[in-house]
Structure 1
């Protein structure tokens, strides 16, 4: 059966670490993912708040009820089987992933659901972020976007850029990017100010792993002597809904 972690942790080179508080994401052997279907995945956004709350709690079935609720949202059987979404909705999630492009040397991203900030993901290197990109887009934020889109009718379809030569196309593309950047700045300006409670979880050499919890956002980050190296912050369901 497949399991998920509820938290981040430090693992030294060559170290073996047992996560006693990992949670099972298949309520029975019947939900086992075949080898060809197994991927490195990140929990859907709808599950991350509860999972973080349950870090440190040793109960393999602790996330089953929340998984059942998410399955119900998509009209799937009410079971604690996360693979129902990952397998049965794989076509949509794969198509959704193709909408977003990973840029060279990219180390982080802001994710929005409609016009609301849904997550902030920052990695210590571009190679690290490249490994996270697919599970972040496809499974974590893709599942949340799929839920938002399931009852939405397209009112204004996207119109492709139209140019008679390469120079015109480049200018239109640049203008489109400037407009999108301004749109994102407006969305960020509308994000409510947040006060976080911070709890240090563990240390490794000069690294500090900390959990932050606020009214609308929560997550974890790693810093070294005041310098941010890693962050994974997500919006709570109450903020997005």
Structure 2
């Protein structure tokens, strides 16, 4: 339930409200990353993504990113959408989410250049969309109101240095160095029927909650989320701890001899069930966590709010009390935390 806080005009909800109307699908797991699909019969096709409608993207000056919505639907620009182009132009990313009215054209002068010292403007056209790596999203959101095109250069430089690539404010250096690994995440984690969101975990730790207004919208943004945003976290975990996390080995030991294929299938199913339950148990305690929503703007009858809590920082877009879009990456402090507790059975 939405309720106003006493001391200011912001709203407070619980994480479970972001997940209202969803059910948890079967866990998908590859290496360090796990994904719990959020499935639902709720399918609001009044909203489209820039990918769905082949929106024209462009820059008019450094730090100003424009979108032309050619559709008759409201376009939601995902939080921290970015564009790395092949032309002689400076790559840009949003520092927050955006909303563009049907058949509308809108420019955001709070965008960030993500390619230091490169000149040139992005010509109006349709380009592949990325979503900033997880480690950069908290920095971008904190600086969402700044009109300074250089505001992420130092953060990108530090990010690159952690991965052993050239430590300059060029995000493309990271993308080029780990292209093969990032591409693999897209192939390994596929959307399931009726999916409109996901809870993403790295080594059994929740690192993000994502929700879209419709199945089609989700399918269009999922490759960007799993590739650059959460894929970068999985790569970092593998670099720090090795390719196979030892603590994620099966809790159920396989016998030396297996009598039949049916017995093997049964054992594999039990191992998968145990892994599924471990992942869900890390989510349970978060459902009651309060989220403070600070209103940013209202466009086309929907409200964009910045959401903060002890463990998450991101944005939601709502129509009244109905959440139509949410992107809640975990804070860097939460990602690094080693303390996990168990709570009541998982329910949405």
TM norm structure 2: 0.61
Helix, strand or coil: the match of 1:138? helix
- By how many angstroms is 1:179 displaced? 2.8
Aligned counterpart in structure 2 of residue 188 of structure 1, from 283, 294, 298: 283
Q: Retained in 1: the 8 A contact 2:101–2:300?
A: no
- By how many angstroms is 1:172 displaced? 6.0
Residue 164 of structure 1 pairs with residue 261 of structure 2: yes
Q: Deviations over 1:190-214 (max 9, x none)?
A: 5596443321111134422111122
CA distance in structure 2 between the aligned counterparts of 1:27 and 1:127, rounded to whole angstroms:
34
Residue 203 of structure 1 pairs with residue 292 of structure 2: no
Q: Hey, what does 2:341 align to over in structure 1?
A: none
Q: Hey, what does 2:55 align to over in structure 1?
A: none
Cα gap change, 1:173 to 1:11, in 2 (>3 Å): farther
CA distance in structure 1 between the aligned counterparts of 2:223 and 2:291, rounded to whole angstroms:
28
Helix, strand or coil: the match of 2:219? helix
> What is the aligned-residue RMSD (CA, Å)?
2.8
Q: Hey, what does 1:121 align to over in structure 2?
A: 210
Aligned counterpart in structure 1 of residue 193 of structure 2, from 92, 104, 107: 104
Q: Retained in 2: the 8 A contact 1:208–1:223?
A: yes
CA distance in structure 2 between the aligned counterparts of 1:202 and 1:191, rounded to whole angstroms:
27
Helix, strand or coil: the match of 2:147? coil
Q: Hey, what does 1:62 align to over in structure 2?
A: 151
**Unpaired runs of 5+ in structure 1?**
none
Q: Retained in 2: the 8 A contact 1:116–1:191?
A: no
Equivalent pairs, count? 234
CA distance in structure 1 between the aligned counterparts of 2:202 and 2:106, rounded to whole angstroms:
35
Q: Retained in 2: the 8 A contact 1:121–1:232?
A: yes
- By how many angstroms is 1:98 displaced? 2.8
The structure whose residues are more often helix, as a share, is 1
- By how many angstroms is 1:92 displaced? 1.1
**Unpaired runs of 5+ in structure 2?**
1-89, 337-348
Cα gap change, 1:225 to 1:197, in 2 (>3 Å): closer
Helix, strand or coil: the match of 1:215? coil
Helix, strand or coil: the match of 1:71? helix
The structure whose residues are more often strand, as a share, is 2
Q: Deviations over 1:53-77 (max 9, x none)?
A: 1112111110000000100001111
Q: Deviations over 1:116-139 (max 9, x none)?
A: 110000000011111111110010
CA distance in structure 2 between the aligned counterparts of 1:131 and 1:112, rounded to whole angstroms:
21
CA distance in structure 2 between the aligned counterparts of 1:149 and 1:130, rounded to whole angstroms:
27
